[in-house]
Amino acid sequence: MDKITVGFIGLGLIGGSIARAMKKFRTDCYLMAYSRTTSTLKEAIDEGIIDVALAERDPRFSECDYIFLCAPVSTNLSYLPFLKDVIKPTCVITDVGSVKTEIHREVQKLGMVRNFIGGHPMAGSEKTGFSNSADYLLENAYYIVTPESEIGISMLSDFVELVRSLKAIPMVLTCEEHDYVTAAVSHLPHIVASTLVNTLERLDTPEEYMKLIAAGGFKDITRIASSSPVMWQQICLSNREQVSKVLDAYIRAMVQAKYLVDNQRAEDIYEMFDTAKNYRDSLPDVRGASSRIFLLYCDLYDETGGIAAVTTLLANHDINIKNIGIIHNREFEEGVLRIEFYQQEACDQAKEVLEENSYQVHLPKN
């Protein structure tokens, strides 16, 4: 099998996860990368993820069959003139940005349409950086591909297969379609979550009762408000027209909801919730590994060091825990540990180990 050389500019959460997936699922990839943070490159080299560390404007980018632009949008744009002068004719340049129209316009302006395929892995985390990247982050996640119209069919087909080999689900759209769709399903929810959190902060009592109670469901539905403010600032500015369009629709929906509540329109209020429930329940259950939850519940022995005993037992079997906490609710008569894992394999192994050591394990109900 012929080797393909893949270059990365930026090696954060997404770039690092793509590189890890390539190392895990393919044996034909030779990976080179540049990152402005030298410690990141050292970490990637030490872990065997990257084969060669590159300089900022390294002539060895000319050897690449694929170049992934995984830096902030402004940095990605600034690299295009340099890459235009050094890449070979068969090289495919791609990016991973959440907004596509801006970089496509720049590619068209520079006359690079035969070498560019936009990309957006619909996966991520509130955490950032290479240290939080994972080879399973793209698993079962939609990876939107936005090719330029003049890209060769074989180049596009090869890139789609590359995406598929990383266990992602490729979907081909135009850059305009992508920006409209993601404005609604990704950008708007982040704005809603952030404004909802800010509203609660302004409405809270001096005793901060709202903040205390919000540790439950409110915290779950606003989880994405913890994402990078810098990244979402750039996304809103880059996709201004489409974000504004979907915000208009959402604001109208909020005004309508207020009208229904103010006027006690019982049937219409029910219809609002019922319609939302039906549409929400119809959503396909295809999502990235980063958004999947792998967890179990374990009865907690009423003894000093009970939690430590469980965590030590799992650690002795090299099982990594993502999160752990005691819960009390009507589902369980006694307190139990809610243990969350990064992967299903670890969850299955933990269940086996705990049951072998006489712990009662409960799996979540679907």
* Averaged pLDDT for residues 316-334: 67
Q: What is the pLDDT of residue 331?
A: 44
Which CATH number describes the domain made up of 178-281?
1.10.3660.10
Query: For 332-336, which contacts have Cβ atoms below 8 Å and span 24 or more sequence positions?
Result: 332/297, 332/362, 334/299, 334/300, 334/302, 335/300, 336/297, 336/298, 336/299, 336/300, 336/362
Give CATH for domain 293-362: 3.30.2130.10
For the cut 70, the answer to whether the pLDDT of residue 125 exceeds it is no
Could you tell me which residue, 364 or 196, shows the higher pLDDT? 196
Average pLDDT over residues 141-169: 92
Lowest mean pLDDT among 30-44, 131-145, 221-235, 246-260: 221-235
Residue 139 has pLDDT above 90, yes or no: no
> How far out from the chain centre does Cα 153 lie?
28
**Taking 80 as the threshold, does the pLDDT of residue 366 lie above it?**
no
Average pLDDT, the chain: 88
User: Cα–Cα distance between 293 and 254 in angstroms, integer?
Assistant: 31
Mean pLDDT along residues 135-140? 88
Q: CA–CA separation, 41 vs 44, rounded Å?
A: 5
Is the pLDDT confidence value at 288 over 60? no
Residue partners of 155: CB distance under 8 A and separation at least 6: 90, 92, 117
Q: Does the pLDDT at position 276 exceed 60?
A: yes
CA–CA separation, 328 vs 334, rounded Å? 7
pLDDT band of residue 295 (cuts 50, 70, 90) is confident
**Domain spans, the chain:** 4-174, 178-281, 293-362
How far is Cα 230 from Cα 10, in angstroms, rounded to an integer?
A: 16
User: For residues 219 and 139, which has the higher predicted lDDT (pLDDT)?
Assistant: 139
pLDDT of residue 229: 86
Q: Which residue has the higher pLDDT, 100 or 293?
A: 100
Residue 286 has pLDDT above 70, yes or no: no
pTM recorded for the entire structure? 0.71
Residue 332, pLDDT > 60, answer no
Range 4-174 classified under CATH 3.20.10.10: no
